[in-house]
Amino acid sequence: MNNIFRLPELPKKQEIFETIINSKNVIIERIISTGQTTPEGSWYDQDQDEWVILLQGEATLLYSDNSSIDLKSGDYLLIKAHQKHRVIFTSSDPPCIWLAIHGNLVG
């Protein structure tokens, strides 16, 4: 048995991506962020939808239309495929614990 809140040794300046389930239809991963952001000028432009919940910490996402969303523990959202976005803030104390589900989620 595993626990989503049990944290491994956290490397400095590096996010941790842990795959929980990887099937042909869906990928579920835990992401642990400790202050990391998307590099300036870079955007995530994913081929699949992503449903994400922030289980711990605080974060801010920026979309290519210049709108942003502040997330706190328990907040979740759906990022549709090819919806360009970037992470512009993640808390380090406490670290952000994300649960992300990737797949064709929108019919």
Distances (CA, A) of 46 to 2, 8, 35, 52, 79: 28, 27, 22, 13, 9
Q: Please report the pLDDT score of residue 8 as a whole number.
A: 86
For residues 81 and 8, which has the higher predicted lDDT (pLDDT)? 81
The domain locations on the chain are 16-103
**Residue 77: φ, ψ to 5°:** -160, 165
pTM for this predicted structure: 0.92
Q: pLDDT tier at 102 (50, 70, 90 boundaries)?
A: very high
11 upstream amide cis, omega within 30 of 0: no
Count of Cβ atoms closer than 10 Å to residue 10 Cβ:
14
DSSP letter assigned to residue 14: -
Check pLDDT > 80 for residue 41: yes
For 6-40, the pLDDT digits (tens) are: 998 877 788 999 999 999 999 999 999 999 999 99
- Residue 43 in contact with residue 94, Cβ under 8 Å? no
Q: Over the chain, what is the mean pLDDT?
A: 95
**Fold for the domain defined by 16-103:** Jelly Rolls (2.60.120)
